[in-house]
């Protein structure tokens, strides 16, 4: 089971690879705050995410104090703990560090793509990275190079 956070879901939506989450992790849930954030009218991928996340939303009773993270990130971490999930899908570095410090196993959207390639669900990551780079989702050049090297794909400069 995987718990999803906003930016990583949007990144996978950009490349039409949301279904990889079910293939790799069988079950996906998102907290209400994440659902509300990604399905706001005018948000990138909102229609696609609204349809995909139907019946996957869980209400979270948030007992954490804000530690510089968004409500969606805090609810996602809480939901991970409540459901004893296998992994938390999250791209935000600060939230990822906080989650790791709280014994949460994390993976980012690019980690999902790497795993999907390793398991034969996708052939190439480079075209997907190119689509993400054209969107509003930010990925550092350093991370792109690292992902391409991990996947033995040709590294290029932006």
CATH of the domain at 136: 3.40.50.1010
| 8 Å CB contact between 63 and 31 | no
| 8 Å CB contact between 4 and 28 | yes
What pTM, to 2 d.p., does this model score? 0.86
What is the tens place of the pLDDT at every residue in 84-119? 999 999 999 989 999 999 899 999 999 999 999 999
**Domain coverage including residue 27:** 1-158
Average pLDDT for the chain: 92
Q: What is the mean pLDDT of residues 57-78?
A: 82
Encoding tokens for residue 147?
Answer: 């992902």
Task: Say how far apart CA 108 and CA 115 lie, in whole Å.
Answer: 11
DSSP string of 51-88?
HHTTT-EE-----PPPSS--HHHHHHHHHHHHHT-SEE
If one counts the domains in the chain, the total is 1
Q: Supply the DSSP symbol for 27.
A: -
Instruction: Tell me which H or E stretch contains 31.
Output: strand 28-31
| 8 Å CB contact between 89 and 9 | yes
Task: Say how far apart CA 82 and CA 63 lie, in whole Å.
Answer: 12
Q: What is the mean pLDDT of residues 45-56?
A: 95
């Amino acid at each position: 089971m995987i718990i999803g956070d906003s930016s990583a879901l949007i990144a996978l939506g950009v490349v039409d690879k949301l279904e990889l989450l079910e293939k790799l992790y069988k079950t996906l849930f998102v907290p209400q705050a994440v659902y509300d954030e990604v399905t706001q009218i005018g948000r990138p991928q909102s229609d696609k995410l609204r349809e995909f996340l139907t019946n996957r939303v869980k209400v979270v009773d948030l007992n954490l104090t804000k530690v510089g993270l968004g409500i969606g990130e805090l609810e996602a971490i809480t939901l991970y703990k409540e459901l004893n999930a296998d992994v938390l899908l999250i791209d935000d570095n600060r939230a990822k560090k906080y989650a790791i410090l709280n014994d949460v196993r994390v993976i980012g959207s690019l980690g999902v793509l790497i795993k999907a390639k390793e398991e034969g669900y996708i052939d190439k990551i480079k075209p997907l990275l190119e689509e993400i780079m054209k969107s509003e989702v930010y990925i550092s050049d350093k991370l792109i190079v690292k992902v391409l090297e991990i996947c033995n794909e040709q590294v290029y400069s932006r």
